[in-house]
Amino acid sequence: MAADISPAKRTAIDWVDAQADSLSRDHMEIWHLHEPSWREYKSAAWYVQRLRAEGFEVEAGSAGMPTAFCATWESGTGGPTISCYAEYDAVVGSSQDPVPYRKPRDGVHPYAAGHTDPHSALGLGGLTGALAMQAAMKAHNIAGRIKFFGEPAEKMCGSKPIHASHGYYDDIDALISFHPTSLPALSNTVIWDTHCGCYWSKIYTFECRDPETWGSAGERAGARNSHSIARAPAAMDALCLMYTTTKYTKENMLPHHGSWTLNEAVLNGGFATADNLPPRFAQIQYAWRCPSIEMAESIERVLDGNAEHVGRLTHCDWRSDWVTKTRPGMANHALAEITYENFKTVGAPRFSEEAKEFGREMIRNLGYDAPDEPFPEILEELVDPRDGEAQLRAMLPSWQTNYTSDDYTDMTWHTPTVRLYVGRAALKAPAPGVRVPHWCHCALGGLPAAMDPMFLTAGKVIATTGLELMLDPEALAGCRTEFEGRTGGGVGGTAWVPPLLGKNCPAPIHYPWPEYIETERGREWMLPTPPV
C-alpha cells in the first residue's frame, strides 16, 4: 500500500480491516438466504434494516420493485453524489453446501437456488465500500452524498433498466460498478473499452380463449360428446411450436459472426386439464444477449413473427411483454484510470492457506492430484486495463464493440461509470481438457476464506475511489467532460440513448418466477423437498 495515501483513504481502508470479521458474517447471512430473482424478500429486508441502522434514509420497494431499495446518506452541503450498489439474487438449480464435494443444501429441493458469482459477495463488496466511505466522510468532514442501491434480479438483467426508466440515476455524479471476476484474464482490473452489450428478454403468452370456435369443436348434436369431436390445438401446442419453430429459425436470425446467444425458459406449460379439453394458457420466456441494439432488434423481429405464426396455427391469441431491455455499456476512461490507480494502492486480494487447502481437497475429490496452487495465480495479480482490453479484443471481431451482458450498462448512460473486477477464488482445471464442475464454483462462494479477500478488496477500492472523487473536483469534472463528449451533451444529448423500456416502466414482478413458499410443511422451495 502506498505510503503517501491521503488521510481519508487511510481511514476507509483501516475501517474495512477493523470490520472484516463482522462483514464476513454479514456475507454469510446473505449467502445462506439464497433467494432467486425478483423474490429476494429476506435479502432486501436485511439490507434495508442494516442501512437504516447506519443512518441512511432508505426507500424500500423503489420503482415499484418489492425487493429493490434506494438508500442515501449525506454529509455537509454541496458535495457530489457517488453511487454503488448491492445485488443479492441467487440462481435456480445451483444449490450447494460450502463443502469440498457435491452436496445440495439440506431442507430444500436439490434444484433450489444458490449463489454462483456470488452476488452475496458482490452485494457485500458494495456495502463495504459505501460504509467505509461514510466512515471516512464523518472522520474528515467531507461534503458529499452516497447513493446506494439494492438491485434485484441481475441474472435477468432486471432492476437497473427499471430504475433507469424511473429516473433514479439522473442525480448521480459518478458510479462504481463492482463484479467478482468471471474472466481470469480480467482479474483485478477495470474495463477499458469493451463493456457488456445488450440483454433483452420477452415473455410470450398464448391463450386459447374460445376453443369451441375451432372446426367442429362446438358440434355436439345427437349422441356426439366432446370426446369424439375436434379439439383446438390450443396453448400447449402453441408453446411447443414456438419452441421448435424458434430452434429451426435461430441460425437465421443473425449472420454467423459475432457473439450472441438466445435461450428460453418455460414459465407455464398449459396447465393440467381433462384429456378432452384444450389447454388454455401457456408462457415461454426468451432472453438474448448480443453486442448491439440493432442485433437485438433483429432477433426480436423473428421471435414476434414466430409467435404470430404459431398463434394462427393453434387457434390462440398471443402477446409479448418485456422482462428487460438493456442498452450496451459505455466507457469512461477518466474514471477507469482513477479507479485503477486506487486499486494499485489497495493491492490485489490474497487467498489464505485455508482457502487453498479447500480448493486442493475439491480437486482431490474430483479424482485428480492437487497442485500447490489450486487457484490461477492471476487471481492475486493486478491487470492493467489496457492489457486486459487487448486480451479481450484478441478474441472478438474488430467491429464488435461490446461483449457479454449485465444490466449495469444502463447506468453508464446516466452518469460516468466504471466497471471494477476483483479476482474471486476459482479452481484451475484439474487436468488438460477437463472443465471444473459448476458445484465447485458454488461451494467456494460459501467459504469465507475464499470470498472475504475478494469483496473486502472491492470495498476498499470503491471507498477510496469515491473519496477521491469527492475531494478532487477536477478529477470528477474530467469524468463528466468525457461522459458529455460520448453522449453528445450528457443525458438527453445528441448521442444519448434513452431507457429502452420507456418512462416509468412497471417491473415484471407478477410472473411465476421460481421462489420459496410457505406450506403446512413450513418454508420450502416451490418444488417440495424429496425424502432423504
pLDDT, position 185? 87
Q: What does the pLDDT look like over 99-127, one tens digit per residue?
A: 999 999 998 999 999 999 999 999 999 99
- Range scoring the smallest mean pLDDT among 89-103, 144-158, 511-525: 511-525
pLDDT, position 272? 72
Q: Report how far Cα 174 is from the mean position of its chain's Cα atoms.
A: 20
Provide Rg for the chain, Cα atoms. 25
Q: In 10 A of CB 315, how many CB atoms?
A: 23
User: Which cell is 199 given?
Assistant: 440483454
| pLDDT above 90: percentage of residues in the chain | 88
pLDDT, position 338? 98
CATH 3.30.70.360 matches 199-217+229-325: yes
pLDDT, position 216? 67
| pLDDT above 70: percentage of residues in the chain | 96
pLDDT, position 224? 61
Q: In 10 A of CB 448, how many CB atoms?
A: 20
Mean pLDDT of 73-99: 97
Which phi and psi angles does 54 have, rounded to 5°?
A: -90, 5
What single-letter amino acid sits at 205?
Answer: T
Rounded CA-CA distance 83/152 in Å is 16
Mean pLDDT of 171-188: 94
Yes or no: say if 82 and 169 are a contact pair by the CB < 8 Å rule: no
Rounded CA-CA distance 253/158 in Å is 24
- Return the CATH fold of 7-196+328-350+377-433+453-487: Aminopeptidase (3.40.630)
Q: What does the pLDDT look like over 424-474, one tens digit per residue?
A: 999 999 999 999 999 999 999 999 999 999 999 999 999 999 999 999 999
pLDDT, position 385? 98
pLDDT at 149 over 90: yes
Mean pLDDT of 377-384: 97
pLDDT, position 172? 98
Q: Name residues whose C-beta falls within 8 Å of residue 394's C-beta, 6 or more positions apart in sequence.
A: none
Q: Degrees (nearest 5) of the Cα angle 410, 456, 345?
A: 90
DSSP 370-411: PPS--S-GGGGS---HHHHHHHHHTTS-TT----SB-GGGGG
Mean pLDDT of 181-202: 95
Domain map (residue ranges) of the chain = 7-196+328-350+377-433+453-487, 199-217+229-325
Q: Is 24 left (phi over 0), alpha (psi -120 to 50) or beta?
A: alpha
Q: Degrees (nearest 5) of the Cα angle 142, 143, 147?
A: 110
Q: What's the pLDDT band for 276 if we cut at 50, 70, 90?
A: confident
Nearest CA among 458, 461, 455, 460 for reference residue 340: 461
Cis geometry, peptide bond prior to residue 437 (ω within 30 degrees of 0): no
pLDDT at 225 over 80: no
Q: Degrees (nearest 5) of the Cα angle 150, 155, 160?
A: 45
Q: What is the mean pLDDT of the chain?
A: 95
- Range scoring the smallest mean pLDDT among 193-197, 216-220, 268-272, 286-290: 216-220
Mean pLDDT of 221-236: 73
Yes or no: say if 296 and 287 are a contact pair by the CB < 8 Å rule: no
**477-502 residues labelled b (16+ CB within 10 A) or e (exposed):** ebbbebbbebbeebeeeeebeebbbe
Partner residues linked to 83 by β-bridges: 147, 175
Which phi and psi angles does 70 have, rounded to 5°?
A: -135, 115
pLDDT, position 223? 61
Mean pLDDT of 47-60: 98
Q: What does the pLDDT look like over 317-362, one tens digit per residue?
A: 999 999 999 999 999 999 999 999 999 999 999 999 999 999 999 9
Rounded CA-CA distance 260/41 in Å is 32
Q: Which residue has the higher pLDDT, 327 or 259?
A: 327
pLDDT, position 57? 98
Q: Which residue has the higher pLDDT, 114 or 273?
A: 114
